[in-house]
Amino acid sequence: MENNRKVNRKRTAPKSSAAKNVFLAVMFVLGILVVGVGILSVTDIAGDKVLAVAAEAVKEETGWTLSAENVKGNPISGYTLIGVSLDRGEEQKQNILAAGTINVKINFASLLRGSPRLSLLAIGGVNMDLDKFIDEISTINLPDSQGGGEIPIDRISLINSRFTSVWGSVDVNSIRADINGTLMAVAISGAVNGVPVKGNFEADTHGQTFVVRKLELQAGKGKLTTSGNVNSSPDNDGDVALDFQGTLKGMDISDIAAFWPALSPRDYSGNADLDFTIEGSGSNLLITANLDFEGSRIAGYPLESITTRLRFANMRISAENVKATALGVPVEGEFAMAVREGAVPSVLVKLDGSGVPLSEVARLYPDLGNVGGSIERFSVNVHGPVDALAGVMELSAPDVLIMGKQVKNVAAQLRLARSDPATLNGKFVLEGAQAYVQGTIAGITTPSSAELNLTANLANLDVKKIEDLIPDGKQYGLSGLLTADLTIRGQASALTIGGTLSSPRFTAEGYALDKPSLSFTYEKDMFTLKESSGSWEGLPIKVSGVVSPVSSKTPDVAITAQLSFSPENLKRFVPDIDQYKLKGTVNAGVKIAGRLPHPNVELVASSQTLSAFDSVSARNLEATTALAGDLGKLDKVDVVFKAGSIAAGGAGLQDLSANIRKDGQQIRLENVSAKSGSGSVTGGGTITLGSGADARLNLAFDMRQLDLAPLAQSGGLGAALSGQLSGRLEVAGVSSNPSI
């Protein structure tokens, strides 16, 4: 038996050795394969051939040229195309698409199943003009898709890319699509015009129908959730049929505005919720939505809230059952807009509101100051093409307060008659004065740049009721009834106001003007007085000049005046002028320059005939002086005096000139000179005014060869004289009985 065991061992030993050898051989082969695969995975193989095949396919299908700076990889690890460019044209190439890299990997398991597909198609570093790319795509004939097939790629990704368009820019951080048969799962991360966008959706394809099982997208603060399907069946006459339902919650409308470069996000503030449905195809597309908005403004206009039912069909969008709040005012109505091919967009707006508190309006216009009351009713009924709107806007308010002033019976109507400009008619009562406004407003659809061309009339406004609107107006002692006829032109932010102001009698600082009338313009805080008429103490006066800036308490003035007055009128400037016993008429020109309330005053006065002290008369007289400071407390006056002739005490002189200085009660005559024939007289002295009518004289004159004949003739002596006179003349004592 032991021998049999030995025999068996001898027989089984060769079999065990053979199995071992086979195992070692297999392991050796596998090792070689592993080493080979490892070597192949880091070796570039046939990259140029792959690029050439791809370029040929692109050329055949599109006519475009595909090129790359470099190709790396092999069938095992995949291929990477670096510096990829897609161009149109041969000699003068126009770039259509550029990408930093394109990675392609093959799914080897699909090769064993006999249905080859890619495990990965990854594109990175794309920088593309999307509008240009779409235009180029539209010029080529791509093969028709039969639908229902699978995309032969397991995963498609796009990273670190940027797409530009007239609508703005799209920055892609990452878009990844995982494909499993007809199923697709997509994840998105990026930004549209700076608004962060992140989300995912799941979709499936059934024949001609693309089904979106779920789409969740976070755009800024808002979240879009929707599902539905897209049907491209031939039964739809070539149109794509949509059937979607969804919601948009918590959307910041300034982010929505950012999607359209023509809009300014600063003009939009608030959050919106939207429930919507989209169904139909082509011209039969129907979109309905329920909108709920809360915020502060839309398109720059104040709007606190709005709820409405939106509907879009046949290229017409409408808002039904509108309930909104603007400036705290409840508004109800409807809105519609139609945009059809070949036609100008048209709109329909019907809104009604009541009880508008003006205190809310004042928040937008703080310069209105103290504002109160309310607009009793307003209505808007506008329709037609946007370039030829027709309709009426109206408002009424029985009693309001603007800038602290009472305004009653306000009624305004703005009428659009299929043309621009619009026509405005309005009326109101300001502090008891009836006023009317009428004219046109061009470009009313853009209020910030609208051009006004209006006239306004205001009758018999008591100036005392508005004196507090004038800087330091109360200190001027204003009184009188004003009538104004005005023109208002330009944009609201830069108006030019002109016209005329008139009054039966107007008083300021104790000076009364009878029937004053003036024409003026006001622009950029500058008041320009063009011309005026009126009378002061029965004497005509004309004034022109500039005051700027009007809003200042101490504005600069440059005013000239022409007037005629009697010496009695000078009491305003020289209270004791009665002592001079002046008689005659004076024509004066006044120039006022400097800063209020104490400007400099230059006066030029002339008179054909003027007398003083009942004993002195002058012809062709001219006097100039400069006044400064508080004119009501004027003590010193310097006058340059000239006269063609002067007569006193039966003697007359010609070409008289003198410098006269009044200092308190004393008048000093300096540099006095005159002529009589070929002779002359020079001198000077003082005249001291007393409490009574007489003045005390202390004058001395040197005479040099005065011709007596013209001297007596000029003075009206009544006796013929001849010869020449030389000597010294002294006049002293009181004016009523001087010592000569």
Q: Say which residues have a Cβ less than 8 Å from residue 599's Cβ, sequence separation at least 6.
A: 557, 592, 593
What pTM does this model have? 0.54
pLDDT at 728: 85
Number of neighbours of residue 422 by Cβ within 10 angstroms: 21
Cα-based distances in Å from 353 to 15, 295, 470 = 106, 19, 35
Q: Facing residues of 357 across strands? A: 374
pLDDT at 40: 47
pLDDT at 162: 92
CA angle 181-182-188, nearest 5°?
100
SS3 77: coil
Is residue 637 scored above 80 in pLDDT? Answer: no
Cα-based distances in Å from 199 to 176, 260, 389 = 11, 21, 43
**Residue type for position 429:** V
Name the DSSP class of 153.
B
Three-state secondary structure of 218-277: EECCEEEEEEEEEECCHHHCCCCEEEEEEEEEEEEHHHHHHCCCCCCHHHCEEEEEEEEE
Task: Find the distance separating the first CA and the last CA of the chain, reported in whole Å.
Answer: 193
pLDDT at 110: 65
Residue 277 pLDDT class (50, 70, 90 cuts): very high
Mean pLDDT of 154-168: 88
- 422-431, 447-456, 578-587: the lowest-pLDDT one: 578-587
Is residue 319 scored above 60 in pLDDT? Answer: yes
Name the DSSP class of 448.
G
**Residue type for position 308:** T
pLDDT at 16: 57
pLDDT at 65: 87
- 100-114, 427-441, 538-552: the lowest-pLDDT one: 100-114
Residue 28 pLDDT class (50, 70, 90 cuts): very low
Rounded CA separation 605/333 (Å): 71
Q: Mean pLDDT in the chain?
A: 80
Listing DSSP states for 178-219 in one string gives EEETTEEEEEEEEEETTEEEEEEEEEEEETTEEEEEEEEEEE
Which is more confidently placed, 329 or 269? 269
Q: How far is CA 356 from the centre of its chain?
A: 25
- In which residue are the tokens 């082969």 written? 29
Rounded CA separation 99/77 (Å): 20
Handedness of CA 37, 43, 49, 51 (dihedral sign): positive
Rounded CA separation 196/189 (Å): 8
**Nearest Cα residue to 229 out of 204, 210, 206:** 210
pLDDT at 41: 47
Mean pLDDT of 146-156: 69
Structure tokens at 429: 């009562």
pLDDT at 1: 46
Q: Say which residues have a Cβ less than 8 Å from residue 365's Cβ, sequence separation at least 6.
A: none
pLDDT at 150: 63
**Nearest Cα residue to 55 out of 46, 44, 45, 64:** 64
Mean pLDDT of 28-37: 49
Is residue 144 scored above 70 in pLDDT? Answer: no
Look at the chain and count its residues. 740
pLDDT at 36: 45
Which is more confidently placed, 117 or 203? 203
Q: How far is CA 550 from the centre of its chain?
A: 23
Which is more confidently placed, 174 or 120? 174
Is residue 9 scored above 60 in pLDDT? Answer: no
Is residue 19 scored above 80 in pLDDT? Answer: no
**% of the chain with per-residue pLDDT over 70:** 82
- 17-21, 109-113, 326-330, 381-385: the lowest-pLDDT one: 17-21
Residue 10 pLDDT class (50, 70, 90 cuts): very low
Which is more confidently placed, 649 or 518? 518
Is residue 230 scored above 60 in pLDDT? Answer: yes
pLDDT at 238: 66
pLDDT at 471: 67
Q: Say which residues have a Cβ less than 8 Å from residue 428's Cβ, sequence separation at least 6.
A: 407, 408, 409, 410, 411, 435, 437
Rounded CA separation 52/68 (Å): 10
pLDDT at 214: 93
**Residue type for position 617:** S
Residue 250 pLDDT class (50, 70, 90 cuts): very high
Handedness of CA 503, 508, 512, 516 (dihedral sign): negative
Mean pLDDT of 689-717: 70
Rounded CA separation 664/732 (Å): 20
pLDDT at 573: 63
Residue 546 contacts residue 529 (beta carbons within 8 Å): yes
Mean pLDDT of 589-604: 82
Rounded CA separation 76/74 (Å): 5
**Nearest Cα residue to 391 out of 362, 423, 353:** 423
Number of neighbours of residue 256 by Cβ within 10 angstroms: 18
- In which residue are the tokens 């002596």 written? 717
Which is more confidently placed, 531 or 718? 531
- 273-277, 432-436, 598-602: the lowest-pLDDT one: 598-602
- Nearest-10 Cα torsion for 509, 510, 515, 520: -10
pLDDT at 327: 67
Name the DSSP class of 711.
H
Of 4-13, 59-68, 219-228, 560-569, where does the model show the most confidence?
219-228
Give the HSE-up count for residue 295: Cα atoms under 13 Å, Cβ half-sphere: 24
- 16-25, 106-115, 345-354, 485-494: the lowest-pLDDT one: 16-25
Rounded CA separation 365/57 (Å): 67
